[in-house]
């Protein structure tokens, strides 16, 4: 072996090991909402249930809307409006300067809704067809999006709420009214109820954080969310 070869061999053997790199910190696991099976959408064939007189006592729709401080000129989306039980009550609150976008998945519900809007002589309510993944709403427009007894029926809540964010105006509020899942006395099927923890966790994964909670309704949670701002 030549002297050069011996030298190179020795150098290779004695070269110090590179300092061991510190292991990369393990990223915090994402906070995942527990899996939940969406309830099937309530069929238009049962639409009469949405206008049953007992609703006034069980759900207090006017007191619920009072708590939302809806004012003239606002653009409100009644998401999953059904036959417009709430949209028709919101219309006079936003007045002629405002607008109600009443959305639904089922064209038959929207037909029933249009008939009620026409019968009431309202000109500021627009019926909008939604899909499982799209609200059908215009960009950056909605000041308040109201889901009454709807969120738990969304077949693809992640896609739907992502699309809703596109449609929200700055500082918009998103309101969920859901039957209380914590309360066995509320006489509604379990799949149509949600707990506050469930709603908070799911809305959290969709980029929202809760700003208000009202507990005065007899059977339902009234929960208000806003888009979570980066710290
Ligand atoms: C239990 S009803 C409630 C109707 C109305 N919010 C009310 O309180 O009278 C639920 C409604 O949500 C609608 N819905 C379900 N998924 C929807 C979606 N992805 N987009 C729009 N509407 C939806 C159903 O078609 C149904 O009309």
CA angle 162, 164, 168 (to 5 degrees): 120
DSSP symbol at 102: E
| pLDDT greater than 80 at residue 7 | no
CA angle 196, 199, 200 (to 5 degrees): 80
Q: What is the pLDDT of residue 25?
A: 57
Ligand 1, atom 12: closest residue by C-alpha: 80
End-to-end CA distance of the chain: 65
Segment 78-98, tens digit of pLDDT: 999 999 999 999 999 999 999
Q: What average pLDDT is seen over the chain?
A: 90
| pLDDT greater than 90 at residue 13 | no
Which is it for the CA torsion 112, 114, 119, 124, positive or negative? positive
Ligand 1, atom 17: closest residue by C-alpha: 105
**Distance from the CA of 179 to the center of ligand 1, in angstroms?**
14
Longest CA pairwise span in the chain (Å): 104
Q: What is the pLDDT of residue 231?
A: 76
Residue, of 28 and 51, whose pLDDT is higher = 51
Q: What is the pTM of this model?
A: 0.88
Residue, of 1 and 226, whose pLDDT is higher = 226
Domain map (residue ranges) of the chain: 63-227
Ligand 1 mutation target, pool 47, 79, 153, 175, most atoms within 8 A of CB: 153
**Distance from the CA of 227 to the center of ligand 1, in angstroms?**
22
> 63-227: which CATH number, 3.40.50.150, 3.30.450.20, 3.20.20.450, 3.40.50.2300?
3.40.50.150
What are the φ and ψ backbone dihedral angles of 23, each rounded to 5 degrees?
Answer: -60, 140
């Amino acid at each position: 072996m030549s002297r050069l070869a011996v030298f190179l061999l020795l150098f290779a053997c004695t070269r110090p090991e590179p300092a061991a790199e510190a292991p990369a910190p393990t990223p915090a696991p994402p906070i995942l909402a527990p899996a939940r099976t969406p309830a099937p959408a309530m069929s238009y064939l049962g639409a009469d249930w949405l206008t049953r007189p007992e609703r006034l006592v069980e759900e207090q729709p006017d007191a619920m809307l009072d708590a939302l401080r809806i004012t003239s000129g606002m653009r409100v989306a009644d998401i999953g409006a059904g036959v417009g039980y709430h949209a028709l009550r919101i219309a006079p609150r936003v007045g002629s300067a405002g607008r109600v976008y009443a959305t639904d998945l089922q064209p038959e519900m929207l037909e029933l809704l249009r008939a009620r809007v026409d019968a009431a002589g309202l000109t500021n309510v627009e019926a909008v067809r939604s899909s499982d993944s799209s609200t059908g709403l215009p960009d950056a427009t909605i000041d308040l999006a109201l889901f009454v007894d709807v969120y738990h029926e969304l077949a693809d809540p992640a896609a739907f709420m992502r699309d809703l964010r596109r449609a929200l105006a700055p500082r918009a509020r998103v309101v969920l009214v859901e039957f209380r899942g914590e309360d066995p006395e509320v006489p509604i099927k379990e799949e149509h109820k949600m707990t506050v923890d469930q709603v908070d966790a799911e809305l959290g994964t969709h980029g929202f954080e809760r700003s208000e909670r009202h507990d005065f309704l007899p059977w339902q949670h009234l929960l208000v969310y806003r888009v979570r701002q980066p710290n």
